[in-house]
A and B are shown apart, each in its own frame.
Chain A
Amino acid sequence: MQEGDYLALLTGAWTTLAIALPAIAMGAPLGLALALIRWRKIPVLGTIAAILVSLFRATPSVTLVLLVYYAVPQIGIQLAELPAAIITLTLGTMAYTCEIWRGALMAFPRDQYDAAMAMGMTRGLRFRLIVLPQIARASLPALVNEMTLLIKVTPAAAVIGLVEITRAAVRVGAETYQPLPPFLVALVIYAVIIGTLVGLQRYLEHRQTRALAI
């Protein structure tokens, strides 16, 4: 492997992050929104949310990315490869994190919520000051787990032509007739990305939350 090959793999890593990080940043809050809609049992919207979650969970990422890439231009919106991949993985993450958030919401102690109501907190304050800090903490391990899974489905974006880590490794292997070295480098890159995520989780778990609410 030459310098240019390493560069190609690092460019692939950049593409992987360019897909995964926006998908996490949008998917997790959207999942929370869906979870709240289902938790409050809002009629019609709650049912729609449940159907969406089931649909996206049932569809393989490769299928979904092709669907988004070819379907969206049909309604007159031009969509480049990167946005198509981001949208696809955002929808998937939204569906999975929705279930994580919903689990935490259902396990939230009723009496704490009652106390927040009795103290005169409005719905928004109850959520922001009492519920959210606690469910975020409770959900963190499962959310990070979902993020690591998300990193690992980014190769699905290769089917619409994006060159992320794995696709870059395949290319380098084909050009040098030595498939093994680029895949070992790819492995190391994935390990670094996921190690960083897990490290971030550790940091957040150990950080004092005292400055959080007030």
Chain B
Amino acid sequence: MQQPSEPLLRIEGLEKSFGGNKILNGIDLAVAPHETVCMLGPSGSGKSTVLRCINWLETPDAGAIFLRDQRVGCHEDGKKPMSDRELSEIRARMGMVFQSFALWPHLSVLQNVMVAPIHVQGRPKTFVREEALAMLDKVGLSDKRDAFPSSLSGGQKQRVGIARALVMKPEVMLFDEPTSALDPELVGEVLQVMRQLAREGMTMVVVTHEMAFARDVASHVAFLDQGRVAEHSTPDAFFTAPKTERARSFLKRYTRGS
């Protein structure tokens, strides 16, 4: 498929095993600026592992990740691993949203959003506070800024999670099944925020089971199966005429009734 410009994020030949189980078996993927790529696939196909390798929460066994041509996790030769500080610097350029929200329960909503820009990026506190408030406003949670995470609904927690990542001004946002832990009636409010982000031109990699979201929002979809990208196409092509049998049976299961 045709790339509109140089990829912002590039994954090459990614391999990863857990306890002798090969989860990723040579993943290649490129994400151009302002694109939303949805990774779809049956559970266990390795989608989340790919995402966690991108910001080095998991260390791949083989392959390489590039963020704007800078190698993630190791230095150019691919041998010398990055130090804790170097890893932290490159991770700070990528936002991540977790299935389990992973908010910090000892901090208020506003503190959750403010803590990293202040301590990681060293931005001035008053400035960060204004941006954090603006970000909470954007996800519709201004009135919750002094609340603690335990008092929020799942949908609210996830929107805080998105605000927390956005305030770092990331070059790319990684979403790891952001709506899978939510009650069905709360999914919409999170997807709405993500749609808005996509419209504003944020570069996003989204692991999801929300087929309607993928169909409407994705620039292209990558269908993962057995640790490989089995299909990589536009949402139109993927949802109307999937090329592989595995994708057809997957779609049959996930779009049933919708």
Contacts and interface: CB of A to CB of B under 8 A. Distances in A.
A11 B168 CA distance: 58
B105 A118 contact: no
A125 interface: yes
Contacts of B125: 214
Nearest to B101: A111
B106 A117 contact: no
A122 B88 contact: yes
Interface residues of B, number: 35
A214 B112 CA distance: 10
Contacts of A115: 96, 98, 102-104
B118 interface: yes
Nearest to B100: A111
A33 interface: no
A209 interface: yes
Main SS of the interface on chain B?
A: mixed
B115 A129 contact: yes
Contact of A129 (B91, B96, B105, B119): B119
Interface string A71-88: 000000000000000000
A209 B84 CA distance: 28
A119 B114 contact: no
Contacts of A121: 88, 116, 119-120
A214 B111 contact: yes
A112 B102 contact: yes
B164 interface: yes
Contact of B55 (A118, A133, A209): A118
A116 B104 CA distance: 9
Contacts of B133: none
B116 A213 contact: no
Nearest to A128: B119
Contacts of A214: 107, 111, 114-115, 118, 125
Nearest to A118: B96
Contacts of A133: 106
A138 to B, nearest CB: 10
Nearest to B89: A120
B202 interface: no
A112 B164 CA distance: 13
Interface of A: 109, 111-112, 114-123, 125, 129-130, 133-134, 137, 209-210, 212-214
7 contacts: A117-B88, A119-B165, A121-B88, A122-B84, A123-B84, A130-B104, A214-B125
Given A112-B105, A118-B55, 7 more contacts: A111-B102, A118-B95, A119-B91, A119-B164, A122-B85, A129-B115, A130-B104
